[in-house]
Chain A
Amino acid sequence: EEPEPDHDEL
C-alpha cells in the first residue's frame, strides 16, 4: 500500500 502523498516537496 502506497503511503498518503504529502506534497511537501517543491
Chain B
Amino acid sequence: MNVFRLAGDMSHLLAIIILLLKIWKTRSCAGISGRSQLLFALTYTARYLDLVTNWVSLYNTVMKVFFIATSYATIYLMYLKFKATYDSNHDTFRVEFLLLPVTILALVLNHEFSFMEILWTFSIYLEAVAILPQLFMVSKTGEAESITSHYLFALGSYRLLYIFNWIWRYYTEEYYDLIAIIAGVVQTVLYCDFFYLYFTKVLKGKKLQLPA
C-alpha cells in the first residue's frame, strides 16, 4: 500500500458515497446511467469472487464487500425504489457493444486461462469502459448536475491515482501488471474530456453544459 493507491481507493469510495447520497437526498436518479451502474455491478461481482478463495487483508475484504454491496444498492435504488425518476429515454448506449469485445478480449489476452483469472481480466477490461453509457448520456442531454459531475470526477480520479500507484510499484517493487496498467490508462483517457469540462466549468461554479 502506498499513498497513491490509498488516495485512489478513497476517491473511489467517495465517488460511490456521493452517488448514493445524491440519489437518496434528492429521491431521484435523474441523469445517472443505469446501464453504467449495471456494468459496474458486473465488474465488481466478477472481480471480487476471489473474496471466498483468496484472503489478502481485512482492508481488502471490507472494501470489496463495500463495492459489491453498494453497486447492488445503487441498482436497487435506480430500478426499483426510485424507478419513476430514472431517465431511461436518454440511457440508450448499447452495452452489448462493450460486453462482447470485452469478453473476447478477456478470453484471448489474460495472464492464465483459468476461470478465476478470466473473470478477473474480464472485470478489468469491463471497468475500463463501463462509464461510457454514463458519458454518452451526459453528451446526449448536453448537461449534468453539479453533484453528478463531482461523482464523475471522483470516479475518474480513482484510476488516474492508480496509475501513479503502478509507477510507484514499478520503481519500488519492480512489480507491474500490464493488463491492469493498459486498461487503467484507457479508463483514465476516457475521462479526459470530462476532466477538462470539470475544471473549466464546474469548479468555476457553472453547470456542466456541453456546447450545442
Q: What is the interface of chain A, defined by CB distance below 8 A to chain B?
A: 2-3, 5-10
Given A8-B60, A9-B180, A10-B64, A3 and B54 contact (CB-CB distance below 8 Å): no
Nearest residue, chain B, Cβ from A2:
B178
Residues of A within 8 A of B179 (CB): 5
A9 to chain B, nearest CB (A): 7
User: Which applies to chain A's interface (DSSP): helix, strand, loop or mixed?
Assistant: loop
Q: What is the interface of chain B, defined by CB distance below 8 A to chain A?
A: 5, 9, 12, 50, 54, 56, 60, 63-64, 67, 111, 120, 162, 165, 174-180
Given A10-B64, A10-B67, A5 and B177 contact (CB-CB distance below 8 Å): yes
A3 to B12, CA, bound (A): 26
B60 close to A5 (CB less than 8 A): no
24 A–B pairs (Cβ distance < 8 Å), ordered by A: A2-B176, A2-B177, A2-B178, A3-B174, A3-B175, A3-B176, A5-B177, A5-B179, A5-B180, A6-B175, A6-B177, A7-B50, A7-B54, A7-B120, A9-B5, A9-B162, A9-B165, A9-B180, A10-B9, A10-B12, A10-B60, A10-B63, A10-B64, A10-B67
Residues of B within 8 A of A2 (CB): 176-178
Residues of A within 8 A of B174 (CB): 3
A10 to B44, CA, bound (A): 9
Known: A5-B179, A9-B165. 16 other contacts (CB 8 A): A2-B176, A2-B177, A2-B178, A3-B174, A3-B176, A3-B177, A5-B177, A6-B175, A6-B177, A8-B60, A9-B5, A9-B162, A10-B12, A10-B60, A10-B63, A10-B67
